[in-house]
Amino acid sequence: EKFHAKNFAIKYTPETQSHLSMHHDFSGITVLLTLNDAYEGGGTWFFDQQKLVKSKPGYMAIHPGMFTHYHGARPVTKGSRYVVLSFNNW
C-alpha cells in the first residue's frame, strides 16, 4: 500500500486565527512540529487525556488522528504561533 502525507504550515495570532475548535483529524497519524515559542497562550489541548501540549521549537508531537485524540488549538493571546502539521495515511 502507498503512504500519503498532507503537510502544511499554520500561523495563529490574536488578530487573525487565534485558535482551532475541538476536532478529530482525518488521518491515521498526525504529526505537529513546533516552530517557535514567541507567543503567549496557545498549545494543543487533548480533551480525553486532559493534557495541554506546548512543545519547544524543533520538537514534534505525534498522535492518532481519528477517534481517540479529540483536540484543539488553544487561543494565542500575544505574538504569533507557527506550527507545521502532517496528516499521514496508508
> Which residues are annotated as catalytic?
81
Q: Which amino acid is at 88?
A: N
- Supply the DSSP symbol for 56: P
Separation between Cα atoms, residue 36 and residue 26, nearest integer Å: 25
Grid coordinates in use for 90? Answer: 496508508
